[in-house]
Amino acid sequence: MLSLIANNLSDTQTIARIIANLLEAGSVLLLQGNLGSGKTTFIKELAASLGVKALVTSPTFTIIDEYDCGRLPLYHMDLYRLSNQEVNELHLQEYWRGIDFPLGIVAIEWAERLELLPETYLSLNFSLLEGSDRRRIVISAKGEQYLKIISCQRLLDFNV
């Protein structure tokens, strides 16, 4: 587990760029945190770092946005408005298994609503530090490729 401090928006974007450059096809990012904690900001920069030129917004109402115009496809999901049953009915595992969709990066906001987790993933938990615009991003890894990411020296520079 790695606990990072993003002192400002620029730090959050830098962390997203570092991670984007280390991701491979089939990577899954599970993002958690309260409203306004930085999840969508992170994904916007992640998308830009993957070469997505389209406007990236949180798919709160569309649930899933697909971007296939970057280095790898990006599947951005937002589960905020859904019940657990509705999440299960989406069969999101088809995205991270590469069934019916090219393998890409799967980034899921409000991932705590998932009952069926992938075998491996990078978990990012965002929280605002009280009385400031600073954010704590706690990153944990399940799987060898993600353990390499959280040991990246450039990320360790943000470690607390």
Q: What is the pTM of this model?
A: 0.91
Q: Over the range 115-146, which residues count as b (16 or more CB within 10 Å of their CB) and which as e?
A: eeebebbbbbbbebeeeeeebbbbbbbeeeeb
For residue 24, the tally of other CB atoms under 10 A from its CB is 10
* Mean of pLDDT over the chain: 89
Q: What contacts 24+ positions apart, CB below 8 Å, involve 100-103? A: 101/66, 101/73, 101/75, 102/25, 102/68, 102/73, 103/25, 103/26, 103/72, 103/73
In the chain, the domains with their CATH numbers are 2-156 (3.40.50.300)
In tens, the pLDDT along 39-64 reads 999 999 999 999 998 888 887 778 88
The residue-averaged pLDDT of 22-47 equals 93
What pLDDT digit, counting tens, does each position of 84-132 carry? 778 777 778 888 887 788 889 999 999 998 888 899 999 999 999 988 8
